[in-house]
Structure 1
């Protein structure tokens, strides 16, 4: 794909990765992704903002054919899907200075072995003139690494946000045209990598609030010509209240835990509580992460395996602890045969979650009428607490 014009002397460069289905050997990519770089031609200086993942380097280098000079390369984020092709760009344009935060300089030096002589570090709020265009750099740590920053192009009112506010989507459309599709992709993206840093993201959103932003150009996904769309979504995800919803990831070996999970789902439905049920043996973990953004309560369903929780249930619990969702309640349901420490093990895996732990419901073997009664009581308790907490 050739470089594409965004506005006068401002271009999209990069690569669309239609086939990628896994990121960092961990994150599912059902819609592929893109690696966006941007070229700005000022009256005096030319700048390249970010690069692409190294496997896509040839595509970026082909787009740079005919670009006689680059004075600055901006590195918003040191992770290799954005920075990995910087050495090749510097090889082509050895006179270019690599602009980053001081913290990013440390990381880039380690990750890419770039010499100190290539760097120009910038402080928070510092500006750089390209002649008739001015770049303002704003440090935005923990979106989602400690060294990240964004760039605001003052005259054209464009925010280049790198991973912040992005989404994983492969498409030939440069700008967002289907907000429903992008909302889901951006929410998945937020859930998988941004949610653990909600408090820092809220501070960074407040920091950006005074800017007059006409367009947001992230380094994954499409460009937002209506910035309020993604900014409002982020405000809700980081500072809104949890929803009247239970996320119930479960795994079952001999049907007992499945019967309990399905009964609890029905009981919660009768109480007016939405449920998102995930069979962990086949679930899309990214979809599970998305639902955790809104969850008021998490209930983990697991059989006991070798005196502890099933590994899939342990993984889901570990994931929830790492992502730090806003949920306020948590409990465990499941079946065992002769005993074990499932509850103790799972309870010890959630130090990051600020939740009230409700009494678990466990049964020996198949669930009995008493088991189902206890699940009904759990549903009533959850519904009442959601109401008391004001979850809508």
Structure 2
């Protein structure tokens, strides 16, 4: 990957990790990812904005081989996919200083063992003049770690946002030309990484709304030369009320829960509700996370395993609780034979969700006529709640 010019004196470097399929041993990457670094060359000084994941360090160092000096390394975020190669860059450019927030300094010293005398910490709104290129630093805590910041390049109207507004998408293109594909990748990224910090993101969207922005340059995925595209998407995901959607993550062992899910889906669809079922034995957890962004209701479906919920359902419930979607209503359906505490177990796992719990439907064995009637009642209650919320 060669340097790509964004504006005179501003170029995108970094690495495209085409084959990576899992992030943090947790997050699926169906489209790979990229680690974007940027060079900003002023008349007097040169700054490198972020580095790359150590797995791709050779690519970054090859790109820097003809760069005679770097005066500053701007560390927006201490996570190693951005900061992991700072020690290598400091080894090559021994006079360079690392610029970051005070909290990031502590994290980088702990994670990468960078000496304290290599740091310059900056406060919110502080600027740095490179000679005709002015960097303005904007603190953005909890997007998605507490030490994060953005950089605004004043003269060129470029906002460097690190993880914020990014996407796990491997691409050789500089700009987000295929907006449909980028939208899906960015939504997946928002759902998996940013959604738990929605309240902080609201403040950051407010903080940058008056900036004159020509280009948004995140640290994953393509650069946006149409900033409105990604800002509009985030405003929808963050501010818009949930949609007329019921998400049903479920597991089934002998078919009882599957039959319940199929019946409930049929009844809800007939009443005008969009239903998205996810069989957790084959589900890409990122697809589930994306569905949660818009869902007004979650119905958790589980068989009983050793008196408790199925382990896959426990995991999905934990995930939904951690992601904190805008969901308004939750219910639980399930089946057991000789006894179950799954309902209580799952109810205790959704304490982060500001939801109204709709009466669960738990049945004994395979669903019978009276059980289908109970599911009819659940569907009616969901429809009623959606109507009252003004989304149906």
Shift of 1:380: 1.3
Q: Deviations over 1:5-60 (max 9, x none)?
A: 11111111100000000000000000000000000110110000000000100100
Distance (whole Å) between structure 1 residues aligned to residue 315 and residue 343 of structure 2:
14
Alignment of 1:237 with 2:247, yes or no, is no
The DSSP-based 3-state class of the residue aligned with 1:99 is strand
Shift of 1:127: 0.3
Structure 1 stretches of 5 or more lacking a match? none
Shift of 1:236: 1.1
Shift of 1:190: 0.3
Q: Residue 142 of structure 1 corresponds to which residue in structure 2?
A: 142
The DSSP-based 3-state class of the residue aligned with 2:213 is coil
The DSSP-based 3-state class of the residue aligned with 1:180 is helix
The DSSP-based 3-state class of the residue aligned with 1:13 is strand
Q: Deviations over 1:46-79 (max 9, x none)?
A: 0000000001001000000110110100000000
With 369-378 and 163-172 compared, the bigger mean Cα shift is at 369-378
The DSSP-based 3-state class of the residue aligned with 2:125 is coil
Shift of 1:327: 0.4
Alignment of 1:105 with 2:105, yes or no, is yes
Q: Residue 17 of structure 2 corresponds to which residue in structure 1?
A: 17
Distance (whole Å) between structure 1 residues aligned to residue 244 and residue 41 of structure 2:
50
Alignment of 1:39 with 2:52, yes or no, is no
Q: Residue 83 of structure 1 corresponds to which residue in structure 2?
A: 83
The DSSP-based 3-state class of the residue aligned with 2:61 is helix
Q: Residue 61 of structure 1 corresponds to which residue in structure 2?
A: 61
Q: Residue 213 of structure 2 corresponds to which residue in structure 1?
A: 213
Distance (whole Å) between structure 2 residues aligned to residue 325 and residue 147 of structure 1:
23
Distance (whole Å) between structure 2 residues aligned to residue 205 and residue 365 of structure 1:
50
The runs of at least 4 aligned residues of structure 1 exceeding 2 Å deviation read none
Count of aligned positions:
392
Distance (whole Å) between structure 2 residues aligned to residue 362 and residue 347 of structure 1:
13
Distance (whole Å) between structure 2 residues aligned to residue 385 and residue 322 of structure 1:
24
Q: CA RMSD in A?
A: 0.6
Q: Deviations over 1:328-365 (max 9, x none)?
A: 10000111011121110000111101111111111111
The correspondence of residues 2-13 of structure 1 with structure 2, limited to 5 A, is 2-13=2-13
Alignment of 1:375 with 2:371, yes or no, is no
Q: Residue 320 of structure 1 corresponds to which residue in structure 2?
A: 320
Shift of 1:384: 1.3
Q: Deviations over 1:226-269 (max 9, x none)?
A: 10111111111111100000000010000000000010001110
The correspondence of residues 224-303 of structure 1 with structure 2, limited to 5 A, is 224-303=224-303
The correspondence of residues 337-352 of structure 1 with structure 2, limited to 5 A, is 337-352=337-352
The DSSP-based 3-state class of the residue aligned with 2:243 is coil
Q: Residue 387 of structure 1 corresponds to which residue in structure 2?
A: 387
Q: Residue 307 of structure 2 corresponds to which residue in structure 1?
A: 307
Distance (whole Å) between structure 2 residues aligned to residue 350 and residue 300 of structure 1:
11
Alignment of 1:170 with 2:164, yes or no, is no
Q: Residue 95 of structure 2 corresponds to which residue in structure 1?
A: 95
The DSSP-based 3-state class of the residue aligned with 2:381 is helix
The DSSP-based 3-state class of the residue aligned with 1:36 is strand
Distance (whole Å) between structure 2 residues aligned to residue 22 and residue 344 of structure 1:
33
